[in-house]
Structure 1
Amino acid sequence: MNENALTAARFAGRTALVSGGGSGIGAAVARRLAAEGAAVHVADVVGENAAAVAAEVGGTGYGVDVTDAAAVDALVEGIVTQGPLDVVVHTAGVDDPVAKAWIREAGEGDAPVDVIARLSDEQWRRVLAINLDGTFHVLRAAVRAMRPRRSGAVVTVGSSAAFDTLVGYPHYAASKAAVHALSQSVAKEAIAYGIRVNTVAPGPVDTPMAGRTPASVRAAMEATGAIGYASAEELADNICYLASPGAANVVGAVLLSNGGRFTVS
């Protein structure tokens, strides 16, 4: 069997759930999984987006807010009633447009960035609730669903911002650093049940969320690293590798995908 045939068969007969699959990285992952043989369930807080991507890949779409633990549980339980759940990819996440506007204002006014002193409890909780609580809800539901079969792969999405923090992003960086720690802790526990948990930590990626990044910050990020902004499809390649049988010995990894902006040890 040639290499293309092997790749096409990686997820044949598998069932996958992609949260945050209505746009950006999640949508690219859903397309890639389907192209490689998976039956794909697409969840997104914007139900119409989930339905559109699901229709494109021949899957099923759901409108689900990952901050709602009961809704996440009901989604996963409903999928499992139809058959085994083999792969879960959690891409749902958010930044803070208000903080980004403050960064833009500072750049335009040649002034220091002033975010932390103005950051409200509501802004902090929104980012932590979606990025961290949402990851916990999805991880917990995935492990519960996969444990009886002692098999499965889960991939979460962190961020290179957890290592190389940007000025004005305290809540985003904190939430993604916590996602890394949460995922690695769960990975050490879940592997005893045959469930692999790994994380990809993107650098700048050309997605709708990145479109809100201030021009000055984007220019600085584009100037670092050998590659610059990645495409959502490139991140999907990384994620699908971690979810695939080819990564059978990879557990608790945080895979940097940042175009050479920096390394960690």
Structure 2
Amino acid sequence: MTTAQQRRFEGRVALVTGAASGIGAAAARQLAAEGARVHVVDLAEEAARTVADGIGGVAHGVDVADPDAVRALFETVASEDGRVDVVVHAAGIDDPVAKGHIYEAAEKGEPVDVLSRLEDPTWRRIHAVNLDGTFHILREAVRTMRPIGGGAIVTIGSSAAFDTLVGYPHYASSKAAVHALSQSVAKEVIHFGIRVNTVAPGPVDTAMAARTPESVRKRMNDGSAFGYATAEQLSESICYLASDQASNVVGAVLLSNGGRFTV
């Protein structure tokens, strides 16, 4: 990190969702290291508090699928700190049951059969967190940032929106929708000085990825010379998009997948 980068977020207030672990935690730590006051948000409040305590931040237990809870979160942060300058929305879920079906099919040498066994509650929960949660965060972030004249929002999509994994239709569709939602909002709110961009990771070595069976992990990682990315590598991309260095970047979907494919 260069000297110019070391305090890119000095005096700014950042809010990071999904920040109890993985990509969100790495982004929260980097933002704090570069000068931001960080609000660490996660459904797992105790784990969020551990991260917050380590960086001098503030922890909040919030389910992003709950619009009232998200609204109350932003009201609390704005009341405490007077502003929100940076939002990183890393909260999201996958489906370990579907991953299990994919694994079983690979072990037996049979075609993958997830769709016919996919129940409505699972479909809805994946979209409630990944898509609806992104909408809730974007809406409240914009409402909070407009009065102060701007801000930067980074959402986390997925390379799975482009290079879809067989047997993962609910996850892929939720993340493709996150990309479209973020880009549409980006065009709208840039007029208020608010930049919205998206990072689309490939496989990342997080707790979520650890639940992926090894045979599926290998298939997901085919074509990359670099293997699974680290959460810290993703946080570098996130913090770039959130910083003034990306002042002319609006509505981008930044692939961070080790060259597995290009778009």
Please tell me the TM-score bracket, short chain as reference: over 0.9
Partner of 2:141: 142
Partner of 2:119: 120
Secondary structure of the structure 2 residue equivalent to 1:7: coil
Deviations 1:75-106 (A, max 9, x none): 01111112111000000000001111111111
Deviations 1:7-56 (A, max 9, x none): 11100000000000000000000000000000000000000011010001
Partner of 2:185: 186
Q: How does 1:235-254 map to 2 (within 5 A)?
A: 235-254=234-253
Secondary structure of the structure 2 residue equivalent to 1:153: strand
Deviations 1:151-175 (A, max 9, x none): 1000000000000001010000000
User: How many Å apart are 1:221 and its aligned residue?
Assistant: 2.4
Partner of 1:105: 104
User: How many Å apart are 1:132 and its aligned residue?
Assistant: 0.2
User: How many Å apart are 1:111 and its aligned residue?
Assistant: 1.2
- Identity percentage over the alignment? 67
Partner of 2:84: 85
Deviations 1:123-171 (A, max 9, x none): 1001000000000000000000001112100000000000000101000
Supply the RMSD in Å over aligned alpha carbons.
0.8
> Amino acid of the residue matched to residue 27 of structure 1?
A
Counterpart CA distance in 2 for 1:197 and 1:231 is 23
Match of 1:74 among 72, 75, 94: 72
Partner of 1:133: 132
> Amino acid of the residue matched to residue 121 of structure 2?
E
> Amino acid of the residue matched to residue 205 of structure 2?
D
Does the aligned pair in 2 maintain the 1:21–1:27 contact within 8 Å? yes
Does the aligned pair in 1 maintain the 2:151–2:194 contact within 8 Å? yes
Counterpart CA distance in 1 for 2:69 and 2:84 is 17
Counterpart CA distance in 2 for 1:162 and 1:112 is 21
User: How many Å apart are 1:4 and its aligned residue?
Assistant: 2.6
Does the aligned pair in 2 maintain the 1:106–1:112 contact within 8 Å? yes
Q: How many aligned residue pairs are there?
A: 262
Partner of 1:17: 15
Partner of 1:44: 42
User: How many Å apart are 1:177 and its aligned residue?
Assistant: 0.1
Does the aligned pair in 1 maintain the 2:221–2:260 contact within 8 Å? no
> Amino acid of the residue matched to residue 198 of structure 1?
N
Secondary structure of the structure 1 residue equivalent to 2:3: helix
Counterpart CA distance in 1 for 2:161 and 2:222 is 19
> Amino acid of the residue matched to residue 6 of structure 2?
A
Counterpart CA distance in 1 for 2:254 and 2:222 is 22
Counterpart CA distance in 1 for 2:173 and 2:4 is 39
User: How many Å apart are 1:240 and its aligned residue?
Assistant: 0.3
Counterpart CA distance in 2 for 1:130 and 1:186 is 18
Does the aligned pair in 2 maintain the 1:221–1:228 contact within 8 Å? no
Partner of 1:27: 25
Secondary structure of the structure 1 residue equivalent to 2:115: coil
TM-score (ref. length: structure 2): 0.98
Structure 2: runs of 5 or more not aligned = none
Structure 1: runs of 5 or more not aligned = none
User: How many Å apart are 1:222 and its aligned residue?
Assistant: 2.5
User: How many Å apart are 1:107 and its aligned residue?
Assistant: 1.4
User: How many Å apart are 1:114 and its aligned residue?
Assistant: 0.5
Partner of 1:258: 257
